[in-house]
């Protein structure tokens, strides 16, 4: 298996980013502060205007995971998120 495709398969999707923010009740600016990614970049990613650079997506995912979000891969039922209880 190609390493690049493996890395990209584990990257979060725009939908997961929106779901994670909703689960944590965070605004785009809150996530920007937590991740070090600009609010404009997050908005563009979530709205599908940008695919997101790999490093940007890693930073977003790490910030959400630090806050208790688990990312669920698209395993037949669609990608999702789970918040720690």
User: How wide is the angle at C-alpha 75 spanned by C-alphas 69 and 79, nearest 5°?
Assistant: 40
Determine the structural domain holding residue 79 and report its residue range: 3-83
* Contact of 74 with 66, CB cutoff 8 Å: no
CATH code where residue 63 lies: 1.10.260.40
Single pTM value for the model: 0.83
How do residues 48-80 score in pLDDT, each as one tens digit? Answer: 998 889 999 999 999 999 999 999 988 777 889
Q: Would you give the distance in Å from CA 54 to the centre of its chain?
A: 11
How do residues 30-43 score in pLDDT, each as one tens digit? Answer: 999 999 999 999 99
Q: How many domains does the chain have?
A: 1
Q: Which of 68, 65, 72, 69 has the alpha carbon at shortest distance from 13?
A: 72
């Amino acid at each position: 298996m190609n390493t690049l495709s493996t890395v990209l398969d584990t990257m979060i999707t725009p939908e997961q980013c929106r779901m994670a923010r909703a689960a944590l009740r965070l605004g785009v600016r809150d996530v920007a502060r937590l991740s070090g990614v600009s609010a404009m970049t997050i908005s563009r990613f979530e709205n599908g205007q940008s695919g997101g650079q790999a490093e940007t997506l890693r930073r977003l995912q790490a910030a959400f995971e630090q806050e208790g979000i688990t990312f669920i891969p698209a395993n037949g039922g669609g990608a999702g998120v789970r918040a720690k209880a």
